[in-house]
Structure 1
Amino acid sequence: MTAPSIDREHALAFRQRATHLDKRLPLERLTEAAFAGLQDSSPRSAVLALHARVQNVPSSAWKDPRFVQVWGPRGAVYVVPKDEVGMFTIGFLPRDKVLRAKINTGANKAKQAFRLQKDGSTQDYFHGLREASASGTLRIEWDGSRTKWWTVDPPTIDPEDARLELARRFLRSVGPASPEEYAWWSSNTLPDARQTFQFLENELA
Structure 2
Amino acid sequence: MGDAVRYIGVGERRARLGLRQQLAVEARVGTPEEVGEALVALHGSDPATVYLAVGARLVDASVTVPETERALYEDRTLVRMHGMRHTVFAFPTELAAVVHASTGLTVAARERAALIKDMAKAGAPDAAWLKEVEESALAALARRGQATASELTQDEPRLKEQFVYAAGKSYEGVHTVSSRLLRVLGVEGKVVRGRPLGSWMSSQFRWAVAPPHPELDVAEAQAELLRRWLTVCGPATEADLKWWTSWKVSDVRRALTAIRAVAVTVDEGPAYVVEGDDGPVAEPAEPWAALLPGLDPTAMGWQQRDWYLAPALRPALFDRSGNVGPTVWWNGRVVGGWGQRADGEIVWRLLDTEGVGREAEAAIALEAARLRGWVGATWVRPRFRTPLEKELAEATG
Q: Same fold (TM over 0.5)?
A: yes
Amino acid in the other structure paired with 2:222? R
3-state SS of paired residue (2:81): strand
Q: What residue number does 2:13 align with? A: 11
Q: Following the alignment from structure 2 to structure 1, what is the Cα–Cα distance between the partners of residues 79 and 258?
A: 29
Equivalent runs, 1:37-186 vs 2, <5 Å: 37-42=41-46, 44-56=48-60, 57-60=63-66, 61-64=68-71, 65=75, 66-92=77-103, 99=106, 102=109, 112-117=132-137, 118=140, 119=147, 121=149, 122-125=178-181, 128-129=184-185, 131-133=187-189, 137-141=190-194, 143=196, 144-152=202-210, 153-186=212-245
Contact 1:46 1:62 in 2 (8 A): no
Give the counterpart letter for 2:109 in structure 1: K
Unaligned residue ranges in structure 1 (runs of 5+): none
Q: For the residues of structure 1 that align with 2:108 and 2:80, how far apart are their CA atoms?
A: 24
- CA, structure 1 residues 82+130, in 2 after alignment: closer, same or farther (shift >3 Å)? closer
Give 1:19 deviation, angstroms: 2.0
Q: Can you list the C-alpha shifts for 1:158-201, whole angstroms capped at 9, x where unaligned?
A: 44332112101221232221233222211221211121112223
SS of the residue corresponding to residue 80 of structure 1 reads strand
Question: In structure 2, how many angstroms separate the alpha carbons of the residues matched to 1:183 and 1:74?
Answer: 10
User: For the residues of structure 1 that align with 2:132 and 2:17, how far apart are their CA atoms?
Assistant: 42
CA-CA distance at 1:33 after TM superposition: 0.9
Specify which of 230, 246, 251 is matched with residue 187 of structure 1.
246
- Name segments (4+ residues, structure 1) moved above 6 Å: none
Name the CA distance, whole Å, in 1 between partners of 2:99 and 2:204: 22
Tell me if structure 1 keeps the 8 A contact 2:100–2:188.
no
Deviation readout 1:134-164 (Å, 9 max, x if unpaired): xxx3322373322443444442544433211
One-letter amino acid matched to 1:59: V
Partner deviation per Cα, 1:39-94 (whole Å, 9 max, x = no partner): 12325111111111123333141442221111122222211222332223223257
Equivalent position amino acid for 1:140 in 2: R
Stretch moving more, 140-149 or 65-74: 140-149
- The one-letter code sitting in structure 1 at the alignment partner of 2:4 is T
Matched AA of 1:84: L
* Aligned-pair CA distance for 1:32: 1.8
Tell me the secondary structure at the aligned position of residue 26 of structure 1.
Answer: coil
Q: Distance in 1 between matches of 2:241 and 2:203?
A: 30
Please identify which structure carries the higher helix content. 1
CA distance in 2, matches of 1:129, 1:83: 19
Letter aligned with residue 65 of structure 2: S
Question: In 2, distance between residues paired with 1:141 and 1:37?
Answer: 17
Amino acid at match of 1:141: G
Per the normalisation by structure 1, the TM-score is: 0.76
Does the CA contact (< 8 Å) of 1:20 and 1:33 recur in 2? yes
> 2:243 & 2:111 partners in 1: Cα distance?
21
* Number of aligned residue pairs: 195
Structure number having the greater strand percentage = 2
TM-score by length of structure 2 reads: 0.43
Structure-1 separation of matches of 2:238 and 2:186: 23
For 1:33, the equivalent position in structure 2 comes to 35
Q: Is the 8 A contact 2:43 2:50 kept in 1?
A: yes
1:113 positional shift: 4.7
How far apart are the structure 2 equivalents of 1:43 and 1:154? 24
Share of identical aligned residues, percent? 20
Residue 100 and residue 84 in structure 1: after superposition, are their counterparts in 2 closer, same or farther (change >3 A)? closer
Q: Deviation at 1:100?
A: 7.8
Residues 179, 197 of structure 1: 8 Å contact kept:
no
